[in-house]
Amino acid sequence: MARILAAVWPIVKGCITGGVFGITIADWSASYVTLHGASMHPTFDPQQAERALVDKRCLHRYHFSRGDVVVFRSPRDHRELVVKRLIALPGDWIQIPEKQEIQQIPQGRCWVEGDNAATSFDSRSYGPVSYSCCYWTQLRYWPRINCL
């Protein structure tokens, strides 16, 4: 029994080390996100489950710009990740056509909208999003490849 344990222990130790290393990379560096729904159509195809590699390191050195596609925690359900386009930054003024009002984006917040306004649940519904909810930016996406 001791011989079996001695033979298996290096493999178990390597798996545990690799798992911890992989989780650390996923938390701090990059991860994959599957994109669902039609709110970002035509940028992302709602008929296919497209995947995006999301670079998390950029938040330490990157400043958000209008037009960036960002991934953030939904203000409605913090377990859900949402992909939207950044429309306005703190201090910008935005007109909300549905409400016929103009408002200034407060410090520490940003305005996000989906590319498909008809189906998007975004800042027009829940208001400006806190930067603390914006976890990632710099999406690099790959359309789904159908194999025969």
Which residues are known catalytic residues?
39, 84
Are the C-beta atoms of 43 and 143 separated by less than 8 Å? Answer: no
Q: What Rg value do the Cα atoms of the chain yield, rounded?
A: 20
Identify whether the C-beta of residue 31 lies closer than 8 Å to the C-beta of residue 23.
no
List residues bridging with 113 in a β-sheet: 85
User: What is the edge-to-edge ordering of all strands in the sheet holding 69-73?
Assistant: 30-35, 50-55, 134-142, 69-73, 81-88, 109-113, 129-130
Tokens describing residue 31: 């991860």
Rounded-to-integer distance, Cα 41 and Cα 28, Å: 29
Cα distance between residue 57 and residue 135, in whole Å: 10
